[in-house]
Amino acid sequence: LREIISELFEDLEGVQLCGVAEDERGALNLLESQPVDLAIVDLELKQGSGIGVLEALQTEPQRYGPPRTVILSNHAHPAMRQRCAKLGIDAFFDKSLQMSQFIGYVQATAMRRES
């Protein structure tokens, strides 16, 4: 899925994939070293979790910058959506059902930034 998303982003004007991380620490290191406009977070990571990434972004914005945050996950049940909303996400998309909405959101975000 990561490769598919990367290829889709190449075709979207104003969208540049800045990096990919497989675990919580890698994601936070990447966000600290390179500010981004939009952080796309999966809840399930090889080590740590997307929730840990969201908590760090919320508690240390001076360290990680203020990116918009989007969850792209298979764990889209209402309780998880609520938990993520409390951590300040901007949007939540189900990988299995909402890929076109997710891509539309990314494209709209890039267009707003450019204007």
Q: What is the pLDDT of residues 56-74, one digit of tens each?
A: 999 999 999 889 999 999 9
Q: What is the pLDDT of residues 4-39, one digit of tens each?
A: 899 989 989 899 999 999 999 999 999 999 989 999
In angstroms, how far is the first alpha carbon of the chain from the final one?
30
Encoded tokens for 90: 């901007």
3-state SS, residue 33: helix
pLDDT at 115: 66
